[in-house]
Structure 1
C-alpha cells in the first residue's frame, strides 16, 4: 500500500509543484494589493475604491487560494496507468484491486487533511493581514471547497477505471461537468430573477426602465447584486452551515464509497491476474 501511495505522489509531483507555485504567487499578489491599499497607489484611488479592491483581495486570499490548492493536490493516475501499460504490470503484483484503488483514495485523503490545515492557516493570516475577524463559517466553507474537488477527482477516477478508455471517460466527465454547469447557471438565474421581482423588476425591461424602478427604491443594478449576494447567497450558506452541515460528510462519504465501488469493479472487469 505504501509503495502504491508513493507511486501516486511521484506521478502527480509536477502538477502539485506547479499548483503550489501558482498558489504562492496568488497569495503574494494579495499581500501586495493589501500593502498598496494601505500605502501605495491603490490608496490614492479613494476610500471606496480602495476598500472594494481590498475586499476582493481578502476573499481571493481566503477562498481563491483554497480552491487552487485543493484543485491540484488530489491525484488521479488512473488514465496515466492505462496509457503507460502499468495496468498490465499491475496484474503481476501481489496486491488486490481494493488496495490499488484504496491507495489513490488514501493518498487524496491525506492530501485533503494537509491542504485543509494549510488553508486554515492562510485564512487566519489573511484575516490578520486585512484586519478582518475570522468567521467561524470558514471552518465549514473552506473544507467544503475541498470536498467538492475531492468528489470531482474521484468521480473522474471512477470513470477512468470503469471505462478504461481515456478519451471516452474524459467525454463522460466533461458531459457531467457541463450538466452541472448549465443546471447551476439556470438555477442561479432563476433564483436571481425571483429576487429582483420583489423590487418590481420585470423581464423585458429596458435599461432606462430598470434604472428608474430601482432608483425609486434607492437601489442601483450594482447594489441589488450586492444585496442578493449578502441576503440570499450568504443567508443560504449560513442556514446550511447551522442546520444542514451534517449533509456534507454524508454526501461526500456516500459519493466516495460509490466511486470506490465503481473503481474496484472496473479494475476487476479484466480479471486474469498472473
Structure 2
C-alpha cells in the first residue's frame, strides 16, 4: 500500500477533516470535491506538511512520523503553490533537482523538456501557464519516484496542454510499483486516467467507487411527481426537486432502464454524481 489514511482528523476553526483513503500500487486514485472540501489538507497530511490531530497516516509502508529523507526521494509532488523561482531557467532547475535527488536523470529530463517544447534557457517567469504546469510534472516524474501526489496539475490549461500532461502520467504508470493520487476539477481528465475516485465534502469522504463503475452503473433519473411517487426507491442514492418534478441519482441504472422503460434515465459522469451527492437529499 503506497498511502493509507485511517480517520485522519485536522480541525481549523469550523472546518474538520476526517478522512480515510487508500492508494495501492499500480493504481491512479482521484480525489474530488469543491474548493474548501479538504483535498489540500489531505495532501498536506500525507506529505507531513501538517500534523493530524488524530488518526494514522502511512506512506510507502511506513507511519508518517517515520518517513526519512530517502523515502521522500521516492515521492514526486505537484502542489498549486509549488515550483521554481521565476528568475531561474530549466538548466538551473535541473541543477537543483540533481543536488536534491540521487536518482534524478538530468539528461533525460532536459531531453523531455525539449520534446515538450520547453525552452531550457528562458526564464521560468516568462513561461506560459501550460509550460509551467508541464515543467512541474516533468520534475515530479524525473527522479524515479514511486508515488506521485498531484494537486490540480492541469488547472487553467487548454485541452492540448492537459492531454500532454495526462500522457506523461500514463507513461509514468507503465512501470511496475507506481501510484498516483491526483485531484482535479476537470472530471474528464479523471475519468480517462483514474482507477478509482474518492469524493470529499466538508472534510468527509462521501463516496469511494471504481471509475468504471461510476461510468457504467450510475445514472440520473428525470421524474415527474407521479412517477417519483410510484418508483421503487431501493437503489436511489439522492433526490433533488426540479421544476419538472425530481432528479434522482442511482447506482443501478440498468435496473431502472429495464423495469421502468418509460422513464428518462441518463448516464452519469463524475460531475453529475458529485453535484447530486452535494446538492441532493437522501431519499
Q: TM-score range by the shorter chain?
A: under 0.3
Structure number having the greater strand percentage: 2
The structure richer in helix per residue is 1
TM-score, normalised relative to structure 2:
0.21
Pick 1 or 2: higher relative contact order, CA cutoff 8 A, min separation 6.
1
